[in-house]
Amino acid sequence: MIARRDDPGDRRRPPGWRRPDASMSLLADLFAGKLLDHGYAEAAARRAAAGEAASPRGRLRGAGVLLVLLLAGTLIAVAGSQARRAEPVAAGQRSRLIEEIDARTAETDGLQRRLDRLRSDTERRRAGALARSDEGRRVRQGLARAAAAAAALPAAGAGIVVTLADAPRPGGPAAEGGRVYDQDLQVLVNGLWAAGAAAIGVNGQRLAPTTAIRTAGEAIMVDYRPLNGPYAVTALGDPDRLRDALAGSAADRRLTALRERFGIRYDVRRSARARLPAAGAHGLRYAVPRQEDGQ
């Protein structure tokens, strides 16, 4: 058996013998640069291959993003141009609509004045006919009471004027909380009726028992007529009694809170002489036939 010469000592090794530094071969190769250079070379090769494969795709992706931004900018520019071209058209249409509304309102006011004149003439003729007999005079008194309750006749006298207006806001319209809404007018009118007002009008528009106060868009409508602020609510009656009864009421507490929190205008003043026109015409809803004597 030929002996293996592993070292200069030429000594025979027992079976299974290993060099003491065999486990250190990995570290030795690492320090020698064999593994390090090979690993870096493989990693560099993989990056180069991946870059070559992804480079066209990356360029396409970048081009797609640029195209989307270009299209978005074009759409914005076109929309802005169309909006600028449409502004004069919209302004012209709005101006014509306002002119038409003003014309129809003036026409309605003229018809209302004509109706008031005809109603006054009819009342004068009727009063003259009823004054010819005792029965006619009794009927006339009953008609006067009913007409006063229905606001069918003009009314005048002392009273108070309560003014509501939106909170002032420099440079723009009033904020949502600082606006006067139809509910605020409803609460005030109900408070004045409860305080003992004999007749009430809003901006000269007489209120009848069937008058509605509603909102249409941003306008407040009283008896289906749009009104603009400030809103002057006139209540006929004894001024001192009306002011005392209104002070501290639910309506007064609500409007005072709105004034303190949102800055709306709410003030009350006396009026020595106020006049309210008759309310609009009312349709007949109920009728009772008159029983003749002896029937």
| Total structural domains within the chain | 2
Question: Is 19 within a domain?
Answer: no
Judgement on whether residues 178 and 242 belong to the same structural domain of the protein = yes
| 281 within domain boundaries | no
pLDDT class for 104, splitting at 50, 70, 90? confident
Neighbours of 67 (CB within 10 A): 10
More confident residue, 28 or 155: 155
Residue 17 lies in a domain: no
Query: 262 vs 63, which has greater pLDDT?
Result: 262
Task: Report residue 82's pLDDT band, with 50, 70 and 90 as the boundaries.
Answer: confident
Considering the domain architecture, whether residues 169 and 270 belong to the same structural domain is answered as yes
282 domain residue, yes or no = no
CA 214 to CA 225: how far, in whole Å?
10
What are phi and psi for residue 266, nearest 5 degrees? -150, 110
Residue 293 φ then ψ, to 5°: -60, 135
Written as one letter, the residue type at 93 is Q
pLDDT of amino acid 292: 55
Answer yes or no: is 170 within a domain. yes
User: CATH number of the domain that 196 lies in?
Assistant: 3.30.70.1880
Q: Which of 32-41, 138-147, 225-234 has the highest mean pLDDT?
A: 225-234
Residue 2 confidence class, pLDDT cut points 50, 70, 90: very low
pLDDT confidence band for 106 (50 / 70 / 90) = confident
Q: Is residue 133 part of a domain?
A: no
- Which distant-in-sequence residues (6+ apart) come within 8 Å of 225 by Cβ? 108, 205
Residue 104 lies inside a defined structural domain of this protein: yes
| Residues 92, 176 within the same domain | no
Q: What is the pLDDT of residues 20-60, one digit of tens each?
A: 555 555 445 544 555 445 555 666 666 666 554 445 555 56
User: pLDDT category, 122, cuts 50, 70, 90?
Assistant: confident
Provide the residue range defining the domain that includes 210.
Answer: 156-276
Sign of CA dihedral 254, 257, 263, 269: positive
What is the model's pTM?
0.57
More confident residue, 8 or 271: 271
